[in-house]
Structures are given as C-alpha cells and as structure tokens.
Amino acid sequence: MSLKVNPLEIPDVKIITTARYSDARGYFTETYNRRSFLDAGITADFVQDNQSLSVSEGTVRGLHFQAPPYAQAKLVRVIQGAILDVAVDVRRGSSTYGKWVSARLTAEGGEQIFVPRGFLHGFATLAPDTVVAYKVDNLYDPASDGSVVWNDPDLQINWMTDPTAAVVSDKDSAAQRFADFVSPF
C-alpha cells in the first residue's frame, strides 16, 4: 500500500492519502491497511466503522468527543461529496490546547484525516448528499458522549459555510460552550 502522510499545523492530526490505481473502469484504492498505518506511526486499533449521509450542503456535525475510558481516535474519509473536517485540541497541558485545524476532504481526492484521542471533532458538508465514513478505535458509549457547540465564539472556527443557514441537530445546537468545557483528556 502506498501511503502519503502529511501532518497539519497540530502535527498529531494528519492527512493521509493512499494511491489510486486508475484505468478505463475507474479506480481502485486500499483505504486502510494496518501494517502500512503502523509503519507510518499510526497505532490506533480500529474496532468500529461509522457512516453518515448529510442531505443538505452546510450541514454541521460536531464538535463531538467520547470521554475516557471510551475516548476515540478517528480516521475520516468522504465517499461522496466534500467536507471541511475540524479537530480541536483539548489535551490538558498541550501547547496547542484550544487551537483547531481543518482540512477539506473530497470523494474525488480520496484524502483521509486521522484525528487522535483528545480532540473535539466535527465537519461541515460542502456539497449536497455528502457521505462520510470513519473508523474509530473504541466502541461508542452513550454515557461518555459529549460535545461543545460548533459555532463557539471563543474557538472562532471558519466552517466555510453560512452560519445562519447551517443545518445542525438540536443536540449539537444545545452543546456546552468551550468556556464551560472541562477537558477529560
């Protein structure tokens, strides 16, 4: 497996691109190979795959986390459409605590983002009918589920979408402010 790994401004968050082999039929790509990821220094042992469909452009999902001991690292990719993926560092003692990074992921480009444990995570769709798939390295636990409001003024995240037209769940709209967030990481 040919794997290209590029760290973002917060180096623990990485963009991963795998080789695509194209011909007249289309393309083939190996999106995950444990050995290749281990060789690249990504040691997460993925145990669950998730997938979402967001019908409307401008749908925002996040900023979510799972508290320890159910914290989750994520490997996110777009199957159809495009997203802006966002990760916020909430690791206590980190020099980048409260800072965020983002990356545009598209089905056409095949990019993936690795978000380690200790980050808030979310995304905004940049195209209608966007399908996102992601692997996590720990099972979902409802009692460990948490979130920070996606448009928190202290974080000042540029979601590349009109905030007045964003499609957001009631749960995400009612999430806590970052100023009130006590990191479990």
- Catalytic residue set: 64, 134
Tokens of 119: 């980050």
Task: Please answer whether residues 125 and 83 qualify as being in contact, where contact means their C-beta atoms are separated by less than 8 angstroms.
Answer: yes
Q: Which of 134, 133, 130, 122 is nearest to 81 (CA)?
A: 130
The position carrying tokens 């990504």 is 42
In the block, tokens 């560092």 appear at 89
- Tell me 59's DSSP state: B
| Residue reference for tokens 């401008």 | 58
Rounded to 5 degrees, φ, ψ at 37 are -70, -40
Angle at 124 between CA 53 and CA 101, to 5 degrees: 130
Torsion of the alpha carbons at 107, 104, 125 and 87, rounded to the nearest 10: 120
